Amino acid sequence: MLFDYLDNLRKKPKPQRQRYAFAFALSFTLIITGIWAVTLPGRFTPPEEIATNAGEAPFAGLWRQFKDQVASVRTQTAAVAPGAASSTESTATTSNRVDAVSLIATTSEDGTLVPLPPPPKPVLIGTTSPELATTSR
């Protein structure tokens, strides 16, 4: 049966044979990658945790780890933005952004803030000899 299929495949045009070869290689790669992905968490799990989860269904541990990760992300998000709205709420907030120029300013004689120009950036000139190396402004 397999040899008959291969003989029939050899009679087809080269582009079609190449598509079959690509599809076979892709499916084989996906199968190997899937097996690797399923067994990967077991490589990082300490032996004590494996012994305690021995009676657990195979994908129950994966689902439990997924739920733990989602809970961890939610906890971290709540810690970063304690007043953050959930996905079902909508809030309107105003921005308290500070313009960088207002941080770099001086006071004029009438008491208003006058922005300072940014400091000049030095231009470094690279040469092959230390005697010719200079910095210009």
The string of DSSP letters for 38-51 reads: HHHHHHHS-HHHHH
Angle at 21 between CA 20 and CA 27, to 5 degrees: 90
pTM: 0.33
Task: Report residue 28 as tokens.
Answer: 């084989």
Q: pLDDT tens for residues 71-123? A: 888 888 777 766 554 554 445 455 555 555 445 556 667 767 676 777 778 87
Distance CA 63, CA 125 (A): 58
For 96, list phi and psi in degrees, rounded to 5: -110, 40
DSSP-derived 3-state class of residue 59: helix
